[in-house]
Amino acid sequence: MKKTDVIIIGGGPAGIEAAYDLARNDIQVILFEKEEEIFGHMNMAATLFPNFQDASEIRNILLQKTKHDNIQLFKKTGIAKVYKEDKNWHVKTEKGEEYAAKAILLASGFKTFDAKYKEELGYGIYKGVITSVEFEEMYKTGKILTPYGKAPLRIAFLNCVGSRDEKVGNHYCSRVCCINAVKLSIEAKKLLPDVEAYCFYMDIRMSGQFYEELYRKSQEDYNVNYIRGRISEVSPTIDNRLQIKCEDTLSQTPLKMSVDLLVLMIGIEASEGTSMITKQVGINGEYSFAKSLSLHSADNRTNNEGFFLAGTCKRPLTIPETMADARAAALEISYFLKSESE
């Protein structure tokens, strides 16, 4: 069994940021990532809202941080079990290896909503219906095309797919989709200035710094149209487009239009890892996210001494929020280790 000061589960922005802050405080860290690549969902991003910073710049910064001497990074290492024994936390990997540490930081992140649950939106059935993640991947290639290889004439973005939706059991807001739709619609217009872009929404929630400004810019400079209404139905047309229906709830009229691409802004859910580990250690909260000791005063701690939380394993967060939360978690863990050694 290998021993260390802190084990971090999850090599996304939260895990890496916390690992680095611990490492530069002379704390030995083992960082586990289940995938072949680190960075988690940040791998999919081409640019970051609201300033369109190239996501690869942030990935490079994070990559450099993982190279700190006090960090041991294990990729392709899924976690099977987490438990506490003799005041130490133990982690058993899926490969059967065992590790022990004085503290654990859970940074196991989120998964995106499976849009196939919203059957009426036709994801997985009609080729032109794609997710926001798939749209971003297409944007990264420098070309946005219909499934039939043509430049789209009209693109619709639909917010709240799997968020604020009683039918799929997710009552909460995923927080990042509104601004992400603004970003994606501008990206579409940058590549295809003549494309018509429509964003369908329930409420536009622009709570972050510069979000409102970007929302305004998308309308004034890029001519993105915003329609308040949820798309209720998607069907194919004879010319390989998609017919969408919704009620424009501001004008109180039914609306029907044909589009070439429908981009579903899929929401955030607790990842399988988050759900599994939080159940194992008894901190499984609402919607299977991890439950912190106190939202206001101890948000990185849990009711299990030595078990800490960072990032989107707790709830939907933006990347800056996630990284700030990770730094706070690292500080909490430093205090904890110090108090243990005294």
Partner 1 sequence: MSKQYWKDYQSAVAEDNYYYERSCIRQSFFTGSEEIFLKIVKDVLKKDIVDDMNLHTCSGIGYYSGVVPLDTTMTVVARLFALMTEAGYKNFVPSCITSFGLVNEMVDMWHHFPDKLEEIKGYLKEATGKEFEMPENIVHPCDIIYKNRKALKEKMKYSLTNVKTGKPLQVVEHIGCHYAKIFPRQVKGGAEFPQVLVGMIQEWGGEVVDYPERRHCCGFGFSQYLVLANRGYSAANSKKKFESMQPFKPDFILTNCPGCNMFMDRWQYTISETEGITYDDHKRGIPVLTYEELTGLLLGYNPWDLGLQVHQVQVEPLLDKIGIEYDPKDKYVGKTGKQLKEPEKPMNLKV
Out of 43, 70, 243, 288, which residue is the one contacting partner 1 (CB under 8 A)? 243
With contact defined as beta carbons under 8 Å apart, do 185 and 197 qualify?
Answer: yes
Question: Could you tell me the smallest distance in angstroms from the CB atom of residue 288 to partner 1?
Answer: 19
Q: How many Å apart are CA 167 and CA 153, to the nearest integer?
A: 32
The minimum distance between CB 218 and partner 1, in angstroms, equals: 29
With CB under 8 A as the contact rule, which of the stretches 153-161, 209-217, 219-227, 228-236 interacts with partner 1?
A: 228-236
Helix (H) or strand (E) holding 118: none
Residue 117 contacts partner 1 per CB under 8 A:
yes
Shortest distance (Å) from residue 233 CB to partner 1: 6
Q: Does 148 bind partner 1 (CB under 8 A)?
A: no
Confirm or reject binding of residue 166 to partner 1 (CB under 8 A): no
Q: Which stretch binds partner 1 (CB under 8 A): 18-26, 150-158, 231-239, 321-329?
A: 231-239
Rounded CA separation 214/47 (Å): 14
Copy the structure tokens of residue 30. 């083992």
Please, which residue, 192 or 255, has the CB nearer to partner 1? 255
Q: Give the count of alpha carbons within 13 A of 303, CB side only.
A: 9
Report the nearest approach of partner 1 to the CB of residue 247 (Å): 15
Pick from 124, 169, 254, 282: which binds partner 1 (CB under 8 A)? 124
Residue 125 near partner 1 by CB under 8 A: yes
Q: What is the DSSP letter of 284?
A: B
Question: 317 near 326, Cβ under 8 Å?
Answer: no
Q: Is 190 in the site for partner 1 (CB under 8 A)?
A: no
DSSP 8-state secondary structure symbol assigned to residue 312: G
237 contributes a contact to partner 1 by CB under 8 A: yes
Q: Does 254 bind partner 1 (CB under 8 A)?
A: no
C-beta closer to partner 1: residue 207 or 237:
237
Q: Which of 233, 248, 272, 340 binds partner 1 (CB under 8 A)?
A: 233
Instruction: Give, in order, the Cα–Cα distances in Å from 257 to each of 101, 315, 335.
Output: 57, 35, 58
How far is the CA of 105 from the CAs of 32, 56, 81, 163, 304, in angstroms? Answer: 11, 25, 14, 27, 11
Piece of the chain touching partner 1 by CB under 8 A; list 100-108, 127-135, 237-245, 333-341: 237-245
Name which position in 96, 167, 238, 297 contacts partner 1 (CB under 8 A).
Answer: 238
Structure token pair of residue 204? 């536009």
Q: Comparing C-alpha atoms, which of 161, 173, 184 is closest to residue 244?
A: 161
CA distance 83 to 115: 34
- Binding residues among 39-58 for partner 1 as defined by CB under 8 A: none
For every residue of 196-240, which 3-state class applies, written as one string? EEEEEECCCCCCCCCHHHHHHHHHHCCCCEEEECCEEEEEECCCC
Contacts of 216 (CB under 8 A, 6+ apart): none
Region 97-116 residues binding partner 1, contact defined as CB under 8 A: 116
**Where do contacts with partner 1 occur on this chain (CB under 8 A)?**
116-117, 119-120, 124-125, 233, 235-238, 243
